[in-house]
Amino acid sequence: MADHIINGKELVSDVRGRLKEEVERLAAEGLQPGLAVILVGEDPASAVYVRNKAKACEQVGIYSEVHRLPAETTQTELLELVHKLNAAANIHGILVQLPLPKHISEDAVIDAIAVEKDVDGFHPINVGNLSIGKPSLLPCTPAGIIEIIKRTGTSISGKRAVVIGRSNIVGKPVAMLLLRESATVTICHSRTENMKELCREADILVVAIGKPKFVTKEFVKPGAIVIDVGINRLEDGKLAGDVDFDDVVGISGPITPVPGVVGPMTITMLLQNTVQAAKALRS
Ligand code: GUN
């Protein structure tokens, strides 16, 4: 059974190894990709994510700097920092960790990031480019999901894909990317009727709904690949995905455990975007 549990360590170390070699090649040409990460406030989960991003940069030789700002930072102050980083020659990628405190407009901050440094792929121009099939910087979690699916040897073209969740960060863009790979794509969400029946038709099931253990074996076609984007803290302190892993693993095809696959692959795509942005800004 264990052979169809997707091994995140193997996947991630493979892609990061390739990136490290590319960063070394660029360094020999005098270019070191640089990433600036901005964290506003003290959200503990965000602090962990930001630390992991900085560590991953170090691992592959990307320069990184983390700007930790107090929760009371004003929108004007944050925008000033973004403008400064937009103009900084040693910075090729800018990431503002979300969520932001309520008094700051996330849209205004995302809009202020230079399009060519938007390594999250959240800027409306990058979102628009993806939706017209001319993507430049892809959002990291969706790009990582496609990478994971391809690396299991699963073909996407012509297959039925169902995405549960319609967020701007995951659901909508991953549906766009699956469509670009020529899947037949359905997006399910909290108002969807007959969700189980729709999901049971999926050859590829991507779950990003934010409800622990929501997907049970009744949602899964035997042999379907299941990608679990959820990461939820249970009352007992343990982490659980949006998929009831123990229930589904006996019937699915390749399946991602939580944690360990989608999270690290998302960070790996951030590294890849930073390298891509550095090369594009040089030319
Ligand atoms: N918070 C949760 N996921 C993300 C992400 O992908 N990017 C940013 N900037 N913040 C997040």
The reply to whether 30-116 and 140-263 are identical in fold is: yes
Name the residue of 98, 232, 262 whose CB sits within 8 Å of the most ligand 1 atoms, as the mutation to test its pocket: 98
Alpha helices in 117-157, H assignment, sequence order: 124-131, 140-151
Is the minimum distance from the CB of 273 to ligand 1 under 6 angstroms? no
- Pair 189, 217: CB distance under 8 Å: no
Please report, to the nearest 10 degrees, the dihedral formed by the alpha carbons of residues 85, 90, 95, 97 taken in order.
Answer: -80
Binding residues for NADP(+): 165-167, 231
Helix (H, G, I), strand (E, B) or coil at 19: helix
Residue nearest ligand 1's atom 11 by CA: 98
Of 96, 26, 97, which is closest to residue 63 (Cα–Cα)?
Answer: 26
CATH class of the structural domain 30-116: alpha beta
Q: Could you identify the residue written with the tokens 């990461």?
A: 231
For residue 218, count other CB atoms closer than 10 A to its CB. Answer: 12
Atom in ligand 1 nearest the alpha carbon of residue 270: 6
Is the minimum distance from the CB of 109 to ligand 1 under 6 angstroms? no
Is the minimum distance from the CB of 140 to ligand 1 under 6 angstroms? yes
| Token output for 26 | 């660029």
Q: Let me know if 153 is exposed, middle or buried by CB neighbors in 10 A (0-12, 13-18, 19+).
A: exposed
Q: Which pLDDT belongs to residue 270?
A: 98
Q: Which pLDDT belongs to residue 2?
A: 72
* Predicted TM-score (pTM) of this structure: 0.97
Is the minimum distance from the CB of 97 to ligand 1 under 6 angstroms? yes
- Pair 95, 121: CB distance under 8 Å: no
Adjacent-strand bridge partners of 215: 243
Is the minimum distance from the CB of 50 to ligand 1 under 6 angstroms? no
Please identify every residue annotated as catalytic.
53, 97, 120
- Pair 10, 265: CB distance under 8 Å: no
Q: For each of the chain's 283 residues, which pLDDT tens digit applies?
A: 478 999 999 999 999 999 999 999 999 999 999 999 999 999 999 999 999 999 999 999 999 999 999 999 999 999 999 999 999 999 999 999 999 999 999 999 999 999 999 999 999 999 999 999 999 999 999 999 999 999 999 999 999 999 999 999 999 999 999 999 999 999 999 999 999 999 999 999 999 999 999 999 999 999 999 999 999 999 999 999 999 999 999 999 999 999 999 999 999 999 999 999 999 999 7
Helices 262-282 and 8-28, packing angle to 10 deg: 20
Residue 97 Cα to ligand 1 midpoint, Å, equals: 5
Residue 169 Cα to ligand 1 midpoint, Å, equals: 8
| Token output for 233 | 């803290």
Q: Which pLDDT belongs to residue 23?
A: 98
Residues 255, 5: Cα–Cα separation, whole Å: 5
Q: Which pLDDT belongs to residue 3?
A: 85
Residue 158 Cα to ligand 1 midpoint, Å, equals: 30
Name the residue of 39, 49, 95 whose CB sits within 8 Å of the most ligand 1 atoms, as the mutation to test its pocket: 49
Q: Which pLDDT belongs to residue 283?
A: 78
Q: Any idea where the domains of the chain sit in the sequence?
A: 30-116, 140-263
Helix (H, G, I), strand (E, B) or coil at 50: helix
Residue 89 Cα to ligand 1 midpoint, Å, equals: 24
Residue nearest ligand 1's atom 2 by CA: 98
Of 95, 198, 185, which is closest to residue 149 (Cα–Cα)?
Answer: 185
Residues 234, 127: Cα–Cα separation, whole Å: 33
Atom in ligand 1 nearest the alpha carbon of residue 99: 1
Is the minimum distance from the CB of 95 to ligand 1 under 6 angstroms? yes
**CATH tag, 140-263:** 3.40.50.720
